[in-house]
Amino acid sequence: MGNITKSKSLWSHAWSSLTADRMALISMVIIGTYTLIAVLGGLDLIASDWAKEVGPSYAAPSWDNLLGTDIFGRSVVAKVIKGTEIAMSIGLFTAIVSTVIGVFLGSIAGYYGGKVDEVIVWFYTTFASIPGIMKLVAISFILGKGLFAIYLALGLSNWVHLCRLVRGEVIRHKDREYVQAATAIGGGNFRKLFKHILPNVFHIVIIQFSLQFQTAIKSEVILSYLGLGAQSVPSWGTMINDSKLELARDVWWQLSAATAAMLIVVLAFNILGDALRDALDPKLKGK
């Protein structure tokens, strides 16, 4: 037969268009670096002594302390690094929670239709009618404080958009020929939904995952402001929130450092999200 060239799949197409996009490539490197910092921090290999006093209170940035010190004379660099670990864990776990809920409810509603669909649509329409901050507050009241509560509160209040998208896509797919073929060879509902339809709507999940990730990192700041954020570990949110007392004394470095650290990774996720959309959404091909 000689050499049969296998036609490129959506994913290998997407990968080659992602790597050809310089901005997307830079974003992936940035996210990779942040992930590495987070993992090293989590293993206590770096910034484990962030609570140590390294200089006077509110020392301005200098060669000794590149980003200055906070009220207790702790290094802002070390706090930003420790904060990276917190932020990345919040982004990851929140995105997982909201993706699992969104995909599960969305695919079931879209696939089964009828009463199941009506109930799920009613539920998320109701849920979406309550402003986000109120949901965050209510869920945090219930779950208490701490990182685990943050993952759940942010994840639970952020799944509606994905659920809508997945539902719409599953409805578009469920009567296609390949699903009929699966029915013909005796595939059950579960198999059709998870083995056949979901892989075809998975690109939406990936795009949304990267957007959820950065939304969560940004929302953590609001939680910190409300006193519902990370406790006894430095997070970018608590650092930004602390600076409301510092700015009157012209202590700008903690705010700037935490804002910049967040800006870079959130920007990277935004750019990657856009690039993923361009690469994975067949509707946009050729534009």
Residue 77 vs 258, nearer CB to other proteins: 258
Using CB under 8 A as the binding rule, whether residue 123 contacts other proteins is answered as: yes
x-marked contacts with other proteins along 224-253 as a string, rule CB under 8 A:
-xxx--------xx--xx-xx--xx---x-
Cβ atoms 59, 117 nearer than 8 A: no
Q: How far is the CB of 171 from other proteins (least distance, A)?
A: 12
Question: Strand, coil or helix: what is 227?
Answer: coil
| Measured CA angle at 77 (ends 74, 82), to 5 deg | 90
Contact 14, 279 (CB under 8 A): yes
271 with 24: CB under 8 angstroms?
Answer: yes
- Closest CB to other proteins among 122 and 178? 122
Burial of 253 (0-12, 13-18, 19+ CB in 10 A): buried
Minimum distance from residue 153 beta carbon to other proteins (Å): 11
Supply the minimum distance, in Å, between the C-beta of residue 107 and other proteins: 21
- Write the binding mask 169 to 208 for other proteins: x where contact by CB under 8 A, - elsewhere: ----------------------------------------
In whole angstroms, what is the distance from residue 83 CA to residue 153 CA?
19
Total number of residues that touch other proteins (CB under 8 A) = 44
- What is the phi/psi pair of residue 133, to 5°? -65, -35
Show the 3-state SS of 115-170: HHHHHHHHHHHHHHHCCHHHHHHHHHHHHCCCHHHHHHHHHHCCCHHHHHHHHHHH
Asked whether the beta carbons of 107 and 170 are under 8 A apart, the reply is yes
Q: Does 29 bind other proteins (CB under 8 A)?
A: no
Q: Kindly indicate which of the ranges 31-39, 47-55, 158-166, 219-227 contains the residues binding other proteins, using the contact rule CB under 8 A.
A: 219-227
Report the site for other proteins in 126-165 (rule: CB under 8 A).
Answer: 126-131, 133-135, 137-139, 141-142
Q: Strands of the chain (E only): list them.
A: none
Pairwise CA distance, residues 90 & 97, whole Å: 10
Between 222 and 233, name the residue whose CB sits nearer to other proteins: 222
Residue of 54, 270, 278, 281 that binds other proteins (CB under 8 A): 270
Give the span between the Cα atoms of 260 and 8, in whole angstroms.
39
Question: Closer CB to other proteins, residue 46 or residue 204?
Answer: 204
Q: Closest separation between CB of residue 266 and other proteins, Å? A: 4
Closest distance to other proteins from the beta carbon of 267 (Å)? 4
Contacts to other proteins by CB under 8 A: 122-123, 125-131, 133-135, 137-139, 141-142, 214, 218, 221-222, 225-227, 236-237, 240-241, 243-244, 247-248, 252, 255, 258-259, 262-263, 266-267, 270-271, 274, 287
